Amino acid sequence: MIRLLITEDSLSIVEILKTIFKSDGDIEVVGCAKNGRESIQLAERLKPDVILMDINMPIMDGLEATRVIMDKMPTPILILSSLINDDDSSIGFEALRTGALDIMEKPALQLNRSDKNYEMELIRKIKIVSKVKPIHLIQYHKKGYPTKRSVCITQDDRILTIGASTGGPPALCSILKNFVPGFPLPILIVQHIFSAFTQGMVNWLSENCSIKVKLAENGEKVAQGVAYFPPGDFHLAIDNSHRIVLSKEQPIGGNRPSVDFMMRHAAIVFKEKCIGILLTGMGRDGTEGLRAIKEQGGKTIVQDEETSVIFGMPKSAIDAGVVDIVCSLEKIPSEVINVLSLQ
């Protein structure tokens, strides 16, 4: 059984969540906290396997509670937030940087009982984050990363592609913060995240990175030193004229956007001038994308086990034999520059 602590100040939301979890025999709600302070106290006493954490609460908010819990008793935390695309949405992503593992929107007060997609996804996320070991969270939370590194390379007709899932937003922030204005490649990124939070994630990254970060627009030509994310629930690709293609083709392995979809298309267009990076996450998405890049003569890099929140996606690619470089998160920007210097 996964022992779950709910931190939420709305009794209506708490009752909806309890109803959802009653439908799954693997999750037991062991406690409910009305604010961050209560969450800390109950976490110390109950030692849950996973904590669901609201952000806006009285007495102590979810961001501060996450900080305290990650320092005192590291526990997998899934953020549930109603802050989506407004100015406060960055608070949820700050909680991810502090040590929370993933973020989802709160359930609607009137769930459509005929549509189980939200409930299934929430249960799936809880089961994923429950697999992260607390000792790993300590290492991840306290890991330090270097500051920006200047780039003095001019590279035309090249592209960098990045895929990530659970634990990805802070990892992406760590990498993009090291790419200063003048970085010579456009960057295509697929991050598995609840679609309503895509714009909020882009806003948060824009606030914390020097390069331009934006939602991709269908038909726009990619530019050097710009990081592009697909809008929620769209595949991201690029055509021969180096213009963005947003697609509603079927999900691949349950994912839309799909890392494989994005990397395969980039490999077809840029061939040996394509670099692929695969970061922390559960599952296999990205393995076939890296395979396509490697077969075209491009370079492939994956995050190592020590710095990955969940090593599933990188490990899948390593096991498939499609990886050129395995390195820690903090070394990935330098490895990209080294690859460009050799080309």
At residue 140, the pLDDT reads 63
Q: Does domain 2-142 have CATH number 3.40.50.2300?
A: yes
CB atoms within 10 A of CB 142: 11
User: Active site includes 242?
Assistant: no
Q: What are phi and psi of 327, to 5 degrees?
A: -150, 165
Sign of torsion, CA 176 178 181 185?
negative
Residue type, 20: I
Select which of 285, 304, 308, 316 is catalytic.
285
Average pLDDT by stretches of 10, the chain with 343 residues: 97 94 93 98 97 95 95 94 67 89 85 71 94 75 54 71 95 91 93 90 92 97 96 96 97 96 98 97 97 98 95 97 96 92 71
**Calpha distance 31→119 (Å, rounded):** 19
Ordered by start, the domain boundaries in the chain are: 2-142, 159-342
At residue 254, the pLDDT reads 92
User: Active site includes 141?
Assistant: no
Do 159-342 and 2-142 fall under one CATH topology? yes
At residue 88, the pLDDT reads 57
Select which of 81, 130, 165, 316 is catalytic.
165
At residue 117, the pLDDT reads 84
User: Active site includes 233?
Assistant: no
At residue 108, the pLDDT reads 78
At residue 194, the pLDDT reads 86
Report pTM. 0.91
Whether the CB-CB separation of 176 and 169 falls below 8 Å is answered with no
Select which of 192, 258, 260, 265 is catalytic.
192
At residue 82, the pLDDT reads 83
**Calpha distance 274→34 (Å, rounded):** 49
CATH of segment(s) 159-342: 3.40.50.180
